[in-house]
Amino acid sequence: MSAGAYNFAYLDEQTKRMIRRAILKAIAIPGYQVPFASREMPMPYGWGTGGVQVTAAIIGPDDVLKVIDQGSDDTTNAVSIRGFFVKTSGVATTTRTDAATVIQTRHRIPETPLAAGQILVYQVPIPEPLRFLEPRETETRTMHALEEYGLMHVKLYEDIARHGHIATTYAYPVKVAGRYVMDPSPTPKFDNPKMHRSPALQLFGAGREKRIYAIPPHTDVVSLDFEDHPFSVQEFDAPCALCGAEGVFLDEVIVDDAGGRMFVCSDSDHCEERRAAGHEGTLAGAPAWSGAAAAAATEDAS
């Protein structure tokens, strides 16, 4: 079937209007999960159908799209989703955070601070922050309505009692605009502070669970904590081995079978730009890093 048979950005205009209405409602009630009539998409549920629907509903011909998965533009699913929008909408794409108008992401917020006018679209697997404490939707909706978040605080307290600290490291719950407790999607808690008063619009789409929620620009987003156990983010012992960046989220890469490992930026675009600007880490000369070398390595393997 040719792509020409489909509407711009795949979804028909009626569906886009329905999704836009849900987005507008979500922006009007920050952090509140708005049910929407999620469609079956030509990619599997759980692989970003919510984010794809939100992006399809808001993207226009003049937009510049960036898609990342685990912080990287080159992971297979990011490549696949970017390819989908190129095919169905023909919009320009980029890997540069500052050049994008719409950024669809799974599990990370870019290291480069976002600016006013940009929209960050999150792919969300389980939108309900209370789900693992209470499996029933009828119950959790009531709890949100009554602002009854004691259960979540008890869970965090039990973590501290048992482990000495809060044992949630990703999908760490936040309170939005002082009202709704919200799941930031499975981003590492390292990224939580970036959501607070961000000048960019943040939209969250959960396709399988049929929910959309939003954080409008400049909204308070506070990670839940206790006075004597304040929220803190992960710290890494060493800077990025390739670009030397500090204060960024690092991925651990196992390099041999003798316990050797290196830590490199999870945000691959941020890392490449730093290296292009002349920053160097301890392993910057590593042979397999460049695209050509990695492609060659793949060929060797096959």
Partner 1 sequence: MYVAVKGGETAIRNAHDLLADRRRGDRAVPDLTLAQIVEQLALSVDRVMTEGSLYDRELAALAIKQARGDLIEAIFLVRAYRTTLPRFGAGEPVDTGAMRIERRISATFKDLPGGQLLGPTFDYTHRLIDFALAAEGETAPPAERQPAGEETPRVTDLLAAEGLVETSLAAAPEAEPGDLTRAPLEFPADRDLRLQNLARGDEGFLLALGYSTQRGYARSHPFAGEIRFGEVEVEFFAEDLGFAVPLGRIAVTECQMINQFKGSAKVPPQFTRGYGLVFGQSERKAIAMALVDRALRWQELGEELTAPAQDEEFVLSHSDNVQATGFVEHLKLPHYVDFQSELELVRRMRREQAAARVEEPGEDAREAAE
Interface residues for partner 1 in 242-301 (CB under 8 A)?
Answer: 249-253, 255-256, 264, 266, 268, 286-291, 294-295, 297-298
SS3 assignment, position 116: coil
Is the CB of 220 or the CB of 231 nearer to partner 1? 231
- 13 is a site residue for partner 1 (CB under 8 A): no
CB distance 195 to 221 below 8 Å = yes
Is 247 one of the annotated active-site residues of the chain?
no
The single residue among 70, 94, 112, 282 that binds partner 1, judged by CB under 8 A, is: 70
- 186 is a site residue for partner 1 (CB under 8 A): yes
C-alpha to C-alpha distance for 226 and 166, rounded to whole angstroms: 10
Is the CB of 60 or the CB of 83 nearer to partner 1? 83
**CB of residue 41 to partner 1, shortest distance in Å:** 7
**CB of residue 107 to partner 1, shortest distance in Å:** 5
Beta bridge partner(s), residue 201: 119
Is the CB of 95 or the CB of 219 nearer to partner 1? 95
CB distance 254 to 298 below 8 Å = no
- 116 is a site residue for partner 1 (CB under 8 A): no
- Piece of 91-99, 100-108, 111-119, 192-200 that binds partner 1 (CB under 8 A): 100-108
Q: Which two tokens stand for residue 250?
A: 């690092």
- 145 is a site residue for partner 1 (CB under 8 A): no
Is 271 one of the annotated active-site residues of the chain?
yes
- 108 is a site residue for partner 1 (CB under 8 A): yes
C-alpha to C-alpha distance for 23 and 36, rounded to whole angstroms: 9
Is the CB of 40 or the CB of 62 nearer to partner 1? 40
Long-range contacts, 171-175 (Cβ 8 Å, 24+)? 171/126, 171/129, 172/223, 172/224, 172/231, 173/129, 173/223, 173/224, 174/31, 174/221, 174/222, 174/223, 174/224, 175/31, 175/149, 175/221, 175/222, 175/224
Interface residues for partner 1 in 19-58 (CB under 8 A)?
Answer: 35-42, 44-47, 49
Q: Return the active site residues.
A: 31, 240, 243, 265, 271
